[in-house]
Structure 1
Amino acid sequence: MSESGQNGSTENWSAALRYIAGRKAAEESLGFLVHISTAIQQAPQLKEVVPAVAKACVPFLASAVSLGALATHSQLVVQSPTEYSTALEGVRGLITEAGDQKLVISEHEGLLKQTDPGHLPLLRQWRASSAVAVPLTYRGLRGGHLVVLRGDGHRRGPISPGDLALISEVADRVAAFNAFVTQLAGSEVL
C-alpha cells in the first residue's frame, strides 16, 4: 500500500474513533442528567433531594461538590473526600467576589478566556485542577451555588465547555427544585 493510502486510512480510523468517543460522552452526559432528574423526582422526602444530587455528582461529574441550596437547606451540602475541603472552601470564598456570576477556573483551552489567570495558581495551591461555581437562580429566585471541583486524577480531566454545560443543567434542576419548595412553603403559610 502506498504511503498516501496508509495516511488516508489512519485519518479515517482516527475520525471514526473521535466520532465514537464523542457519541459515548454525549450518551454518558444524557444518562447522568436522567439520573439527576430521577434523584430529584424520587427522593422520599424533600429534604433528601439536595444531598441525593450532591452524592450523584461524585465521582461521575466531580471529585468534590458543594451545594448551597438555601431554600431547602440552611447549611451547605458537601460531598467530598477530606483532601478537597480546603479547595471547596477557597472556591466558595471566591464566589463572594464573583457575586451572582458564574465562576470558572480551568486550564481547558475552551475555558481559558473565562478563567481569571490569578485563580489557577490558587486552585493548584489548594490541590485541585479545575472548578466551577454556578449560582442557583430560577426565574429571578436566587438560592445559593453549586460548586464542582475536580482533582488531577479525575477521569474526565479538567472541566471542559461540555462539562460546564452539564454542570449548568444540574444547577438549573436544583434551582427549579428550590423555587418549587420555596413556592410550596409560601402557599402553606397562606
Structure 2
Amino acid sequence: MAIAMLVTSIAAGITGCSGMNGSEDNPETREVDVARADAVTFADQIRSIIDLPGKTSDAGPTPTPCGDRDFDKFYSLVHPWSLYGVSVPDMEKAMLRLKGELPAQGWKIESYGPNSSRAKSLELTATATKKRYSLVITLLDRRGRSDDPSMITVDLGSPCLQVPEGTKVVI
C-alpha cells in the first residue's frame, strides 16, 4: 500500500522568506550543506522525543525556491517526513512529549491543539529560537475514515537563506 505523505506548502507557509539575522531584503548567508545538517539534527532531535518504534518515510532535506527570488542564490530548506505503524494513543502521548520537551531543546511552541482542518487534527507549531527553523507536527488520526494509516507528519523548514557569494544552490 502506498503511503501518502502530507506535504503542505512548507516553503511559503511555514518557512516564509525572512532572514534569520537580517531582514527579508537580506537573508542570512548559509551553505546548503550546513542548512541540511541543521535540518537532519533537528529531525533526529524530534525523532528522539517522539520515541516510537514505528516506520518512517523521509526523503531528506531539500532546497526549494524562496518566493520569487533567484533560486541560484536564495533558498529555503524543507524536510518533511512522517511516522506511522503505531497506535493513535501512543502517537497522542508522543505529541504531549513534544509539547513538553521541545522548549528545553531550543524550540518556542507557537501553538498546540486542534487545527482548522475538517478532522480537527492535533497540531503543534514551533520555531527554533536560534536558527529559526519552523516546525509543524500533525497527528493524522485516520481510524475509521480511511484505509491509509494514522500517522504523525513532521514539516520542518528553514527561513529564506542565501548561499555564499560565488556559489549556487545545489540540490
Provide TM-score, normalisation by structure 1. 0.26
Whichever of the two has the greater Rg, that structure is 1
Larger helix proportion of the pair: 1
Higher relative contact order (CA 8 A, sep 6+): 2
Larger strand proportion of the pair: 2
Provide TM-score, normalisation by structure 2. 0.28
